[in-house]
Amino acid sequence: MITYRLLTPADFTSLYECFLEAFSDYQVDMRMSQEQFEQRISRDGVRLEISAGAFDGNRMIGFYMNASGMWLGKLTAYDAGTGVIPAYRRQGVAKELFAFMVAHVKEASSTQYLLEVLTTNEPAISLYRRLGFAETRRLAVFRRSEPVKPLDTAVVLRRVEQPDWELFKSFWDGYPSWQNSIDAVERIARDTVIICAYVDARCVGYGVAFKPAASLMQLAVAPAHRRRGIGSQILSALQDEVGESLKVNNVDEELKETIAFFEANGFKLVLEQYEMMTSCRQDCRI
């Protein structure tokens, strides 16, 4: 008999093992060490007390990892990872687990529920739509096999420890995904590196990388200083810090200039995701 319950810290190892098995046939390589897994859920702000697992006896066979925080001005629950191991799929486990879990999300006073799903994962997309989710953005994921070779430009690069978020946000054309948000950066500050670019002693661009995953979390240049190689210089400096070519995840496809920048630097689109959201009002379908 399959049972459902909220998770506790004692479930961490079982959650990690279930995560690896559930994503063993995923389109993206999700293999990672237990330490890397812990860093990942710290970045996303996962709270085990509002996360849920499905169990066959003592064995975890599925999970919803949930985070909680402010998103676009509202208290939001975020699905940081959902999975069911292959032998238990197509048995309604994910739907039943969701129904169990979402009541506790509401109790945590979240007003909306946010997630991302591969655009090619039609079964999951259909399920989420039936549960009341709607697409909010289409997000691009890029990879590059070789390090970026920056253009020569009269810019000074400097690593900084204290980010000036108000200044940095003034460089934005859009806003980052949950995993790359300001809150995410601050949750894992000790595992990030921030590089600022200066022209005439004034910061005109910055980038943030998550070192354990070699992933770019944020990169922006002031509009008046774009197309001068500054973004490429920042990318190169961040790569030097993490020791390998950066992964670029969840870029809003409406940001055409940003997409063109990564393509011009040799990054290739490898997959796309829908960002989806639903309300957590008492009368909603979940």
Residue 259, both tokens: 């997409």
Residue 257, both tokens: 């200039």
pLDDT tens column, 229-249: 999 999 999 999 998 889 999
pLDDT tens column, 4-23: 999 999 999 999 999 999 99
Distance, in Å, from the CA atom of 69 to the CA atom of 178, rounded to the nearest integer, reads 10
Least confident residue range of 113-127, 140-154, 185-199: 140-154
Distance, in Å, from the CA atom of 270 to the CA atom of 82, rounded to the nearest integer, reads 21
Residue pair 79/65 in contact (Cβ under 8 Å)? The answer is: yes
Q: How confident is the model at residue 286 (pLDDT cuts 50, 70, 90)?
A: very low
Enumerate domains of the chain plus CATH numbers.
2-138+273-279 (3.40.630.30), 145-266 (3.40.630.30)
| Beta-strand pair 215-221/247-252 | parallel
Share of the chain above pLDDT 90, in %: 81
Q: How high is the mean pLDDT of the chain?
A: 92
Residue pair 207/218 in contact (Cβ under 8 Å)? The answer is: yes
Distance, in Å, from the CA atom of 203 to the CA atom of 198, rounded to the nearest integer, reads 4
Ramachandran region, residue 92 (left: φ > 0; alpha: ψ -120 to 50; beta: rest): left
pTM: 0.90
Distance, in Å, from the CA atom of 48 to the CA atom of 30, rounded to the nearest integer, reads 20
pLDDT tens column, 175-226: 999 999 999 999 999 999 999 999 999 999 999 999 999 999 999 999 999 9
Asked whether the predicted pLDDT for residue 280 surpasses 50, the reply is yes
Sheet holding 192-199, edge to edge: 2-6, 52-56, 59-71, 74-84, 112-118, 268-279, 134-143, 247-252, 215-221, 202-210, 192-199, 156-160
